[in-house]
Amino acid sequence: MTEMTTESTVYVTYIATTPEKLWAALTASEFTRQYFFNRTVESDWNTGSPWILRMPDGRVDIKGEVRESDPPRKLVVTWNVDWIAEKLPEAIVSYEIEPVGGGVVRLTMTEAHPTPIPAYLLEGGRKGWPMILCGLKSLLETGKPLNIPVPQPPKEPGK
Amino acid sequence: MSKFVYAIYIRTTAEKLWDALTNPEFTRSYWCGTRHECIWEPGSPWRLMIPDGRVGDSGEVVAIERPRRLVLLWRNEFMPELRAEGYSRATFEIEPVGDTVRLTLTHEIDRERSKLIDGVSNGWPAILSSLKSFLETGDALDLTRHWPENL
């Protein structure tokens, strides 16, 4: 029996930037391709609009809908992995941006799973988000992204 | 068991990260003005000193392997409610990945719903984000340059 879970993954990072610059870095391909494993994003980022995360070879990686868009404070999107043969339940990814003073903003990323998913799949986000968001922080603070190899997708235990 | 795990990727070397974590000259820049008192040998006592002279946390070096792994026994000393929870364990692991190093911090205690782990879950992301800024830009984040007022 595969172990199922509805656990969320949360990652918090503090960045020396402005909420506006962080919002732009999350929603514009000129930035995402530098820290999000070379991926681009497509959306008008209005509530209810579709959004896509596209792989460098043109395939769709993730697609979904913008659930909540309050620039430059909060962005909530639905998250459907498009390339995997067996369809997974939809996840919800939220970014919350809060200024904490002294020219620093706190970014809180939450990957929530309202519908249970096989627990081993959480590893993908738990490995990937720190890489992505650390690259984002470096890009905003130093102008230079990190060079981290793309991680392999999680494997089902015993397979 | 209560547990907090946090991974952070920093453009630096394992040695520089190790020094930034353990050398008071560096910790006072990004870790709220605190400094370690420790000779960094297995079994040696360890204390984290608050700038006003109070002891913030204390414990012991459980394992040390420069620049890869450090395990500390860790008890809060300045908040009675947290001190009463006794010793937790903080493990720092450093591994090179691409042009960065990954620091993985695991802070755990053998009790359910620990207030200490709640507290450090809020504190570590700020301190480690500031450590990353410090190593990559030379400047810590304003947020963690000084000991917080009222604490």
Q: Is some CB atom of chain A closer than 8 A to the CB atom of B142?
A: yes
ipTM of the complex in this document: 0.96
pTM of the predicted protein model: 0.96
Q: Quick check: A31 pLDDT over 70?
A: yes
Distance from the A50 Cα atom to the nearest Cα atom in chain B, whole angstroms: 31
Question: Count of alpha carbons within 13 Å of B7, Cβ hemisphere only?
Answer: 21
Q: Is some CB atom of chain A closer than 8 A to the CB atom of B91?
A: no
Selected from 3.30.300.100, 3.30.530.20, 1.20.1250.20, 2.170.190.11, the CATH number assigned to the domain covering B2-144 reads 3.30.530.20
Q: What are phi and psi of A95, to 5 degrees?
A: -120, 125
Q: Is some CB atom of chain B closer than 8 A to the CB atom of A130?
A: yes
For A123, the domain range is 4-142
Please state the rounded mean pLDDT for residues A66-75: 98
Has residue A158 been placed in a domain? Answer: no
Has residue A150 been placed in a domain? Answer: no
Of A12, A104, A141, the CB nearest to B143: A104
Cis peptide before A72 (omega within 30 of 0): yes
Q: Quick check: A159 pLDDT over 80?
A: no
- Map out the domains of chain B as residue ranges: 2-144
> Quick one: what percent of chain B has pLDDT higher than 90?
97
For residue B92, give the nearest of B68, B116, B117 by alpha carbon: B68
Of A13, A104, A147, the CB nearest to B99: A147
Burial group, residue B103, by CB count within 10 angstroms (0-12, 13-18, 19+) = buried
**Number of domains within chain A:** 1
Has residue A155 been placed in a domain? Answer: no
Q: Quick check: A114 pLDDT over 90?
A: yes
Distance from the A110 Cα atom to the nearest Cα atom in chain B, whole angstroms: 14
User: What local confidence, expressed as pLDDT, does residue B149 receive?
Assistant: 86
Has residue A127 been placed in a domain? Answer: yes
Query: pLDDT by residue (tens digit) across B70-126?
Result: 999 999 999 999 999 999 999 999 999 999 999 999 999 999 999 999 999 999 999
Distance from the A49 Cα atom to the nearest Cα atom in chain B, whole angstroms: 32
For residue A28, give the nearest of A7, A4, A57, A53 by alpha carbon: A53
Helix B115-137 vs helix B14-22: angle between axes, to the nearest 10 degrees? 130
The region, left, alpha or beta by phi > 0 then psi within -120 to 50, assigned to residue A2 is beta
Q: Quick check: A82 pLDDT over 80?
A: yes
Q: What is the mean pLDDT of chain A?
A: 95
Q: Is some CB atom of chain A closer than 8 A to the CB atom of B36?
A: no
Has residue A55 been placed in a domain? Answer: yes
Quote helix, strand, coil % in chain A, to nearest 5.
25, 35, 40
Has residue A42 been placed in a domain? Answer: yes
Q: What is the CATH number of the domain that holds A39?
A: 3.30.530.20
User: What local confidence, expressed as pLDDT, does residue A156 receive?
Assistant: 83
Has residue A37 been placed in a domain? Answer: yes
Taking the C-alpha atoms of residue A77 and residue A91, their distance in angstroms, rounded to an integer, is 9
Q: Determine the 3-state secondary structure of B66 from DSSP.
A: coil
pLDDT band at A155 (very low <50, low <70, confident <90, very high): confident
Tell me the chain A residues in contact with residue B146 when contact means C-beta distances shorter than 8 Å.
none
Inter-chain CB pairs, A–B, below 8 Å: 67
User: What local confidence, expressed as pLDDT, does residue B111 receive?
Assistant: 96
Has residue A154 been placed in a domain? Answer: no
